[in-house]
């Protein structure tokens, strides 16, 4: 959400939105008395409430609920907080038939609980809340979704109603306009419209099938990545998709990450399907004795991994179960850490500039479950902070969200409409080199332990492609467009002419489609606009006789009497500039 939408707010938005979620629950209970309520927190940009209502709600129900909410606001009902003994609260919600509240209360390890009452509606809640329903500002119910109770797929599926609330109508209207822009840019809709990718139930949830144009987009990103890595001294490696389970136990993945992994058995031996690429890269490093003179060693792989994501969090390309990372692992001496981390940051900076992304950085520190020593963790966190501080790069600290093997710098991209996306990361790891007994021979002839940096620049290609689609709204820059040019004839008389133009463009490596269908030119152009192709070349009798082209650009402007050589040069400049 655009930060400007949060300005001029005199009351805490979380309190406002939490109170609005209770307001919605009250309206739902009045309209549908048989409903059982679950939980209703404030979330970023809004709120939700989960309900157990087997018939399910409809969009028409949302309209009714919203109208009842407005009626309750007009009544300006006081919102009162009360503290009850745990047993009193259990009796009260048991008598009301609110089984989900009973489960929540039973899990509270205290003698007293707080409830909030507004009219005939009472809810278990720690608060705080507004003083009355009349203080609720502008709100809107947005959509329905399914949600498992407590996020567990083994539990019952509930109905979740999402909404948003602001202090005033102006802020609400701005946010609703923002949501319309989000819908317009939705990569799932554009992915279908632009024929980029599909996710089929028959294939499996979270598994992407690329269509030709999507596969070309991916190829262009991969080709860009390979060239950029070669320029920076990386070596390409490739590891297998499955490794023996003992490897994952040794690395700590089995103890700390197995819920996200898939496993199989071959010849009575257990294997793990890789969720990360690091172990194969470690084995390449271990394959020979290393000298300090070789370091840093930078291994790069466009490695496809599989992770078990819950079905409820899968989302187009943004959250999938199989994806490819632009993964690299750098083995180096401790005295090289500062320079190498800075090199990666500069790599990120140069790359994000090409795609017109702003970004910010965050350091994630030691989690509750970790491997290695606290001393090494402190050292790793210290060097990450030192680099950013020395370079004058601002950063936030995300306590306890590091990888289980090391702290990290997370780079969050900011897209064209202000949303933040996690893509690049730099992880500093002292633990895995210890577990796999990695070493190098130093200048004094003694064996020393290297440090290992795990890093990605774009991150998961699937996720980055999804972000790119939404960032550009499907209007990719020329160098990244799966189709750069569509050539259209006006009548069959120009068939030979447009085919010769097509061949000339293809011979120059320009990604071109030919449209010689016996259809009206206006329809061909309209389809080209929908496909968001950068250039549409139109050739009729006039163009054929003058050996020129009419070029219609994506923004609607037209260039007339264009020579073919000049047009080819224009596209080649677009490709080189990468903007």
Q: Pairing between strand 36-37 and 80-85?
A: unpaired
The secondary structure of residue 37, as a DSSP letter, is E
| 278 is annotated as an active-site residue | yes
| 59 is annotated as an active-site residue | no
Q: CB within 8 A of 247, min separation 6: which ones? A: 272, 279
| 454 is annotated as an active-site residue | yes
The secondary structure of residue 259, as a DSSP letter, is G
| 422 is annotated as an active-site residue | no
Angle between helices 461-472 and 212-231 (to 10 degrees): 110
The one catalytic residue among 17, 185, 290, 329: 329
Give the whole-angstrom CA distance, residue 344 versus residue 370.
24
Give the total residue count for the chain: 579
| 307 is annotated as an active-site residue | yes
| 471 is annotated as an active-site residue | no
Q: Which helix (H) or strand (E) holds 64?
A: helix 59-75
Give the whole-angstrom CA distance, residue 430 versus residue 375.
10
CA 342 → CA 130, 384, 426, 543, distances in Å? 48, 10, 10, 54
Give the whole-angstrom CA distance, residue 387 versus residue 393.
8
| 408 is annotated as an active-site residue | yes
Give the whole-angstrom CA distance, residue 511 versus residue 502.
10
Q: CB within 8 A of 302, min separation 6: which ones? A: 222, 225, 226, 324, 325, 326, 327, 461
Q: CB within 8 A of 255, min separation 6: which ones? A: 249
User: Would you say 176 and 140 are in contact if contact means Cβ atoms under 8 Å apart?
Assistant: yes
The one catalytic residue among 22, 307, 366, 511: 307
The one catalytic residue among 118, 325, 484, 494: 325
The one catalytic residue among 321, 454, 531, 552: 454
Give the whole-angstrom CA distance, residue 382 versus residue 229.
27
The secondary structure of residue 184, as a DSSP letter, is H
User: Would you say 511 and 500 are in contact if contact means Cβ atoms under 8 Å apart?
Assistant: no
Active site residues: 278, 307, 325, 327, 329, 408, 454
């Amino acid at each position: 959400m655009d930060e400007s939408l949060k300005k001029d707010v005199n009351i805490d938005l979380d309190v406002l939105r939490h109170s609005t979620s209770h307001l919605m629950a009250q309206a739902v209970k009045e309209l549908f008395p048989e409903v059982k309520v679950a939980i209703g927190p404030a979330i970023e940009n809004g709120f939700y409430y989960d309900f157990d209502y087997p018939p399910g709600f409809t969009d028409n129900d949302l309209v009714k609920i919203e109208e009842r909410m407005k009626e309750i606001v007009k009544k300006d009902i006081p919102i009162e907080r009360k503290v009850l003994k745990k047993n009193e609260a259990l009796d009260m919600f048991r008598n009301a038939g609110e089984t989900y509240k009973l489960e929540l209360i039973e899990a509270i390890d205290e003698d007293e609980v707080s409830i909030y009452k507004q009219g005939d509606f009472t809810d278990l809640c720690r608060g705080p809340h507004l003083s009355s329903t009349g203080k609720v500002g502008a709100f809107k119910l947005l959509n329905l979704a399914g949600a498992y109770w407590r996020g567990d797929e083994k539990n019952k599926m509930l109905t979740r109603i999402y909404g948003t609330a602001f202090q005033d109508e102006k802020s609400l209207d701005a946010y609703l306009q923002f949501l319309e822009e989000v819908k317009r840019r939705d990569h799932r809709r554009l992915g279908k419209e632009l024929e980029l990718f599909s996710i089929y139930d028959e294939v499996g949830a979270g598994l992407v099938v690329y269509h030709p144009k999507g596969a070309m987009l991916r190829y262009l990103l991969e080709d860009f990545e390979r060239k950029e890595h070669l320029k920076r001294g990386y070596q390409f490696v490739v590891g297998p998709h499955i490794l023996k389970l003992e490897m994952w136990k040794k690395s700590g993945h089995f103890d700390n990450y197995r819920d996200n992994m898939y496993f199989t058995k071959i010849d009575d031996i257990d294997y793990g399907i890789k969720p990360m690429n690091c172990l194969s890269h470690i084995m390449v490093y271990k394959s020979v004795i290393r000298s300090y003179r070789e370091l840093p060693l930078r291994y790069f792989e466009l490695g496809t991994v599989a992770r078990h994501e819950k079905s409820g969090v899968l989302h187009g390309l943004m959250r999938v179960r199989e994806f490819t990372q632009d993964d690299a692992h750098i083995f180096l001496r401790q005295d090289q850490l500062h320079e190498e981390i800075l090199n990666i940051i500069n790599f990120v900076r140069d790359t994000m500039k090409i795609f017109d992304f702003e970004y910010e950085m965050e350091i994630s520190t030691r989690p509750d479950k970790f491997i290695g020593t606290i001393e090494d963790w402190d050292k790793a966190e210290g060097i990450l902070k030192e680099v950013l501080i020395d370079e004058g790069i601002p950063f936030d600290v995300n306590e306890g969200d590091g990888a289980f093997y090391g702290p990290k710098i997370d780079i969050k991209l900011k897209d064209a409409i202000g949303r933040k996306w996690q893509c690049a990361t730099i992880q500093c790891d002292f633990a895995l080199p210890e577990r796999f007994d990695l070493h190098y021979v130093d200048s004094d002839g003694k064996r020393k332990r290297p440090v290992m940096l795990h890093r990605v620049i774009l991150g998961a290609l699937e996720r980055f492609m999804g972000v790119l689609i939404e960032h550009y709204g499907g209007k990719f820059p020329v160098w990244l467009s799966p189709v750069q040019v569509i050539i259209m004839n006006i009548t069959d008389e120009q068939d030979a002419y447009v085919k010769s133009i097509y061949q000339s463009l293809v011979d120059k490596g320009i990604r071109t489609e030919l449209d010689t269908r016996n259809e009206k030119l206006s329809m061909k152009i309209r389809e080209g606009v929908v496909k968001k192709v950068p250039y549409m070349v139109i050739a009729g009798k006039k163009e054929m006789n003058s050996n020129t082209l009419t070029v219609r650009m994506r923004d609607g402007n037209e260039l007339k009497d264009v020579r073919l050589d000049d047009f080819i040069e224009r596209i080649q400049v677009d490709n080189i500039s990468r903007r």
